[in-house]
Amino acid sequence: MAVDNKIEWNFNNTYLSLPKIMLSEQKPDIVEKPEVVIINHALSKELGLNLLDLDDKYLASVFSGNSLPDGSKTISMAYAGHQFGHFTILGDGRAITIGEHVTQNNQGFEIQFKGSGKTKFSRDGDGKAALGPMLREYIISEAMHYLNIPTTRSLAVIKTGEKVIRETELKGAILTRVATSHLRVGTFQYFAYKKDDSNLKTLINFTINKHYPSLKNKENLYLNLIDKLMEKQIDLIVNWMRVGFIHGVMNTDNMALSGETIDYGPCAFMDQYDPKSVFSSIDHFGRYAYYNQPTIAKWNLARFAECLIPLLDSNKDKAIKLATDKINEFDSNYEKKWLGMMRDKLGMIGNQKEDEVLILDLLQWMHINKADYTNTFCNLTYENMINDKIFHKDDFLKWKERWKIRLSVNNNDKTSEKTMKKSNPVVIPRNHLVEDALKTAETGDLEKTNRLLKVLSEPYKIQSSIQDLQISPKPSKIPYKTFCGT
């Protein structure tokens, strides 16, 4: 059933110009008892939507998919992907895009329901989602946004009144996800697998028009697209490393062409610094561990480049060399940006030959002493904010003296301080805090969720009475594990 446009959607739906082979018209399931859990009014304001003046019953009906807005065109999309290195044909198994909303400044955002029922691509899945994982994506994606990291965002979570069966019986829910697009490396792999060069070109042109219009007049358009995506992904991964974020499931179908973080299944934030940190319950060999994220990004980009080989040059050998040479630029480009990011975290202006050694010595000290990643940099940025005896150890104080000597080269304390404050968050969505908030949210109590969201909306600001949100959890005999939430 369509409803009038009280929310003031402005749908354009450019994705309908994509090849029909990759789209499936799909209606969301009707749910019996939709109920609003949370609405993101800050995001709705950014999008130019009117949600504040509407009652919860109306909003629950719209964001559950029971009442589709006028102008919406509901589809699910096909794509492929390498999941833990293994290629498979996939698609939106439980996600339905209802339209592309265009804001007043002409920015397009795809609005997608996650958990709204079976699609053509569901395979053996039920197409549903549970309340806990949907609220988790809401919390973490919004936290990432305020950490100034490119990300999809969350507009609403609705309870469906249904039960979802996983290992146990869970409350059903639907998340409304907002993205500049849901195009993935896996979308390109879908056409490469089918050897469909014509539709592949159509997809490339669509992607360039949407995300990279500056490339239109470039020579060798396809090589430039690889280069641009590599730049975007390096920037993204460097940002993840900056805040200790571990995505947990960096399959090629979870690498977005927009350069946004997408899919918040088994993700987590690192407390104690350990480069081998991995939390996903299904990542038994650390393929997507913290330290391995740049390597996997490069691997995924190589799979993207493979898709474009037929278009790079009529001579296959030359095309392969062009792609290989471009991908091999990843390591030096990443290292340069990673070093720049670490210099910013430590307030080191300019380049000094001893910088890398100084940075690596700090990371080694953190690893050996099991120091909290966020709090170590917070301690350096804000003297004595974090009261932990670990920061009074002799070996740390000796390193700190070397660091202060390096800072004296800057000859600009104000710039160093400003750079550090922009680079080092005071608070992050720590795993135990998120889990605690979700546990109480299951009972209908959103007090902890709302408090967490409020504090995380200003992660670089000194806030009062948040010490309990800054404390690193005590080590547990039971390792913390995250799950895909499917």
Assigned token pair, 334 = 């990443």
DSSP 49-113: ---TTS-HHHHHHHHTTSSEETT---EEEEEEEEETTEEEEEE-SSEEEEEEEE-TTS-EEEEEE
Tell how strand 153-165 and strand 169-179 pair up: antiparallel
CA distances from 262 to 51, 94, 183, 301 (A): 25, 15, 10, 16
Give the long-range contacts of residues 327-331, CB within 8 A, separation 24 or more: 327/226, 327/230, 327/298, 327/301, 327/302, 329/227, 329/230, 330/230, 330/234, 330/294, 330/297, 330/298, 330/301, 331/298
Assigned token pair, 420 = 């550090």
DSSP secondary structure letter of residue 396 = H
DSSP secondary structure letter of residue 157 = E
> Facing residues of 178 across strands?
111, 153
Place of tokens 């609405």: 39
Please pick, among 253, 263, 271, 283, the residue that the annotation labels catalytic. 253
Tell how strand 2-3 and strand 68-69 pair up: parallel
Which are the contacts of 263, defined by CB distance < 8 A and separation ≥ 6?
Answer: 247, 249, 254
DSSP 406-472: HHHHH--HHHHHHHHHHHS-S----HHHHHHHHHHHTTT--HHHHHHHHHHTSTTS--TT-HHHHSP
Assigned token pair, 225 = 């697209």
Note if 253 is an active site residue: yes
Cα–Cα distance, 467 to 426 (Å, whole number): 10
Which are the contacts of 107, defined by CB distance < 8 A and separation ≥ 6?
Answer: 180
For 179-210, b where at least 16 C-beta lie within 10 A, e where not — what string?
bbbbbbbbbbbbbbeeebeebbbbbbebbbeb
Assigned token pair, 382 = 């804000």
Which residues are catalytically annotated? 253
